[in-house]
């Protein structure tokens, strides 16, 4: 254990990349909290970095209430179209987000947090664990072809999913004994906008006075002519294939104790307006795996999850197996440090 005097393991939560599917992270975290499992370490990549930042800064329920109200029109209204580096600059979305949410320094938070990014010039994996939390999360959200790169401390950052789609290693480095990983990439998504989502946007576009703008958006987001994939379908499929293969490789070398895989087969990159489905799936996953989760966390399952006739005595619960000792990892450096000539992966976790 990270603390030799404690019998309770340090729980880490690795929140993976996956665009709109990332709303499942919200349901997972809310259900974990309700079950008495509170991660002390949170590492996030891309949308996982965003949801993780909201969570550790104590604003998750308010954020959930907001995303549940989003319509497809709201989503596209928050996007500032640009074809310089990406289809969306992201400044409008994150500017709105920063106005509506607190932006504490990561060092001042009760839970440990790290955002995983990719340095554009070197391809190095960068961990941000200091400074204001919203810019740190934003630096991880720059999916190629969709969001423009982000300049963070004079260095251009790309999406963290390009190097570490499910940041188990970051949780370990920050002291986690048990890691719960949420993998959003197990089901490949070949479209950036699902058929249901595309139809909804088309309906709204035809009924609004500013339909020209929405029609232009739909043109940019077109999913081809039915027989041939559109440009952004190709980008979406390419990124998903890359992240799926990379996730399998990294998790094989550094497996988490528990892996949660949301099943959202018709969820595409831009379906941010379908938060209710994703949040419900996140809750369902926790409920289905509650016995294993509670055993690893060293807590008793809530009575709500245990049939009354079979409610066990907590003392009869079998102890979970001892987590394996993680292999030594290179210590990451602060993103403000100059890049290493050898191109090693980055950041140093903050001192405990």
Catalytic residue ranges: 46, 159
Six token digits for residue 52:
């993780």
Sign (positive or negative) of CA dihedral 43, 280, 250, 8: positive
Q: Which residues of 171-183 are buried (b: 16+ CB within 10 A; e: fewer)?
A: bbbbbbbbbbbbb
Type and span of the H or E element at 42: strand 41-45
Residues 6+ apart with CB under 8 A from 72: 197, 200, 201, 204, 273
Calculate ∠ Cα 94-29-297, nearest 5°.
Answer: 140
Type and span of the H or E element at 111: none
Type and span of the H or E element at 147: strand 145-147
């Amino acid at each position: 254990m990270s603390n030799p005097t404690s019998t309770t393991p340090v729980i880490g939560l690795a929140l993976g990349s996956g665009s709109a599917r990332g709303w499942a992270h919200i349901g997972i975290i809310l259900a974990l909290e309700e079950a008495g499992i509170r991660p002390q370490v949170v590492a996030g990549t891309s949308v996982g970095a965003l949801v993780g930042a909201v969570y550790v800064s104590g604003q998750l329920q308010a954020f959930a209430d907001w995303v549940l109200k989003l319509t497809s029109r709201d989503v596209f209204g928050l996007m500032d179209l640009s074809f310089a580096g990406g289809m969306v600059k992201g400044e409008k979305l994150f500017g709105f987000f920063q106005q509506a949410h607190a932006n504490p320094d990561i060092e001042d938070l009760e839970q440990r947090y790290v955002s995983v990014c990719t340095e554009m010039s070197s391809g190095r994996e960068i961990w941000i664990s200091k400074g204001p939390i919203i810019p740190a999360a934003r630096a991880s959200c720059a999916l190629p072809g969709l969001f423009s790169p982000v300049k963070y401390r004079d260095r251009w950052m790309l999406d963290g999913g390009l190097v570490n789609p499910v940041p188990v290693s970051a949780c370990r480095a920050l002291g986690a004994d048990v890691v719960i990983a949420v993998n959003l990439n197990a089901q490949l998504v070949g479209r950036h906008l699902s058929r249901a989502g595309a139809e909804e946007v088309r309906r709204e576009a035809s009924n609004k006075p500013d339909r020209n703008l929405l029609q232009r958006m739909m043109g940019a987001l077109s999913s081809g002519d039915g027989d041939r994939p559109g440009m952004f379908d190709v980008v979406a499929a390419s990124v998903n294939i890359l992240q799926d293969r990379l996730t399998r490789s990294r998790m094989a070398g550094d497996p988490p104790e528990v892996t949660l895989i949301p099943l959202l087969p018709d969820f595409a990159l831009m379906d941010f307006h379908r938060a209710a489905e994703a949040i419900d799936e996140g809750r369902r996953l926790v409920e289905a795996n509650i016995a294993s989760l509670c055993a690893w966390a060293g807590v008793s399952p809530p009575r709500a999850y245990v049939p009354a006739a079979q409610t066990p005595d907590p003392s009869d619960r079998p102890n979970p197996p001892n987590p394996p000792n993680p292999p030594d990892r290179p210590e990451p450096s602060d993103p403000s440090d100059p890049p290493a000539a050898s191109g090693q992966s980055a950041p140093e976790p903050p001192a405990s």
